[in-house]
Structure 1
Amino acid sequence: MDLKGSDTVPGPRVEDRLPQTTQAAAKIVIVGGFGVGKTTMVGSVSEIKPLTTEETMTQAGIGVDDNSGSATKTATTVAMDFGRIRISDQVVLYLFGTPGQERFWFLWSGLFEGALGAVVLVDTRRLEVSFEVMGRLEERGVPFVVAVNTFPDAPRYPVDDLRAALDLAPEVPIMECDARRRASSRDVLLTLMRFLHAMTMSRSMT
């Protein structure tokens, strides 16, 4: 068989390869309503070129998708976003961003499978969409933290007021973040990892 004209599958880029010191990996899901910044967060914090499934929004979504507060948004995730970040030389996180449009929420169950924890991104202009998101996580027993994405035109509220409005349990971390900034997104993930570690230690003592 002559393979001279065949296409070859390129190997991973050197910068995308995991270090040999990696000992453990965890799956983290980034969830939230439409247009809250999930794709932005994955892209800002991923150490590899993220995989995205963004498609241009069309007239078909008018009257179906709630884009209040995101009227300038021209593309949306239709399957998932994927990225990766090393927390240490030994631990790596695989990041999966979920689609925000309600008509794509049927995909969430598969993305939640095997997830160690989740980040719930919140937009203060549309707090109501967060209840269904958090409810789905609670139903599946996926621990989560809440990150309030600070859009320039979004109202700002004290964190305690947001906790009360979202009816969050006292132990669930909630913080502000800027999903566009790598350091801010990284801090959210570190908060999630500390929360998961605290949960594990608490269970081991009971």
Structure 2
Amino acid sequence: MDFKGSDTLPGPRTEDKLPHTAQAAAKIVIVGGFGVGKTTMVGSVSEIKPLTTEETMTQAGIGVDDNFGSDTKTATTVAMDFGRISITDQVVLYLFGTPGQQRFWFLWNGLFEGALGAVVLVDTRRLEVSFEVMGRLEERGVPFVVAVNTFPDAPRYPLDELRTALDLSPEIPIMECDARRRASSRDVLLTLMRFLKSLAMRGVLT
């Protein structure tokens, strides 16, 4: 997915400076395997012009990067994507999209530092790549929700079946989304914030 065709905010993006009403900010990471739509989600939902570190894919990546299901993908994130969204007048989220190729996963540790929570983007054509992603979040104690990106050519399954296949605990939210659509991506972030609030109220999140 390419955020150049995404349903972004109408009109010009806001200035980079924080809204004067902002009282709290949180760091959120968007993770997942190669080509699952992380750059697209950051680009579609960010209220500022997103920072991307995409580079053109070359022949050198053949046999190194798994681009199954991404045959039309011509660029890839090599460091991170960055965006910002105001969830309310007082709460701002800083979004960090991680690179998907395993050879860049060493960068994830730094991106996880200080993260309040995470969105795990999933492609139903490659569910297996999600296990290590979620395992890394669990090891670092980063709460997360799972968003199933609805690619047009990807098979669709009931969410209960996907929960079982991904071995998710009952409390972890899972939902479908279209990472190209701002409203859909924003709903995912709102679900994450509600989940984090519920953890905090139970004393799980401090």
Distance 2:17 2:77 in 1: 26
Note the C-alpha offset of 1:17. 2.0
Note the C-alpha offset of 1:181. 0.1
Matched residue of 1:95: which SS? strand
Note the C-alpha offset of 1:177. 0.1
Partner of 2:30 in structure 1? 30
TM-score w.r.t. the length of structure 1 is 0.92
Note the C-alpha offset of 1:33. 0.0
The alignment's C-alpha RMSD in Å is 1.1
- Whichever residue aligns with residue 126 of structure 2, its letter is R
Partner of 1:91 in structure 2? 91
Note the C-alpha offset of 1:14. 6.2
Partner of 2:158 in structure 1? 158
- Whichever residue aligns with residue 91 of structure 1, its letter is V
- Whichever residue aligns with residue 135 of structure 1, its letter is G
Note the C-alpha offset of 1:15. 2.5
Identity rate, percent? 89
Distance 1:175 1:143 in 2: 16
Distance 2:152 2:47 in 1: 26
Map 1:46-61 → 2, pairs under 5 A: 46-61=46-61
Note the C-alpha offset of 1:21. 1.1
Matched residue of 1:16: which SS? coil
Distance 1:186 1:47 in 2: 11
Deviations 1:143-183 (A, max 9, x none): 00000000000000000000000000000000000000000
Distance 1:72 1:165 in 2: 27
Matched residue of 2:118: which SS? strand
Distance 1:14 1:146 in 2: 29
Deviations 1:87-109 (A, max 9, x none): 11111000000000000000000
Distance 1:173 1:47 in 2: 25
Deviations 1:21-72 (A, max 9, x none): 1111000000000000000000000000000000000111000001111111
Q: Is the 8 A contact 2:27 2:96 kept in 1?
A: yes
Map 1:18-167 → 2, pairs under 5 A: 18-167=18-167
For structure 2, list consecutive stretches of 5 or more residues without a partner in the other structure: 1-12
Matched residue of 1:22: which SS? coil
- Whichever residue aligns with residue 115 of structure 2, its letter is A
Deviations 1:105-155 (A, max 9, x none): 000000000000000000000000000000000000000000000000000
Matched residue of 1:85: which SS? strand
4+ long deviations beyond 3 Å: none
Q: Is the 8 A contact 2:14 2:47 kept in 1?
A: no
TM-score w.r.t. the length of structure 2 is 0.92
- Whichever residue aligns with residue 101 of structure 1, its letter is Q
Distance 1:129 1:19 in 2: 38
Distance 1:14 1:201 in 2: 33
Instruction: State yes or no: 1:203 paired with 2:193.
Output: no
Distance 2:14 2:35 in 1: 33
Matched residue of 2:115: which SS? coil
Note the C-alpha offset of 1:19. 1.4
- Whichever residue aligns with residue 95 of structure 1, its letter is L
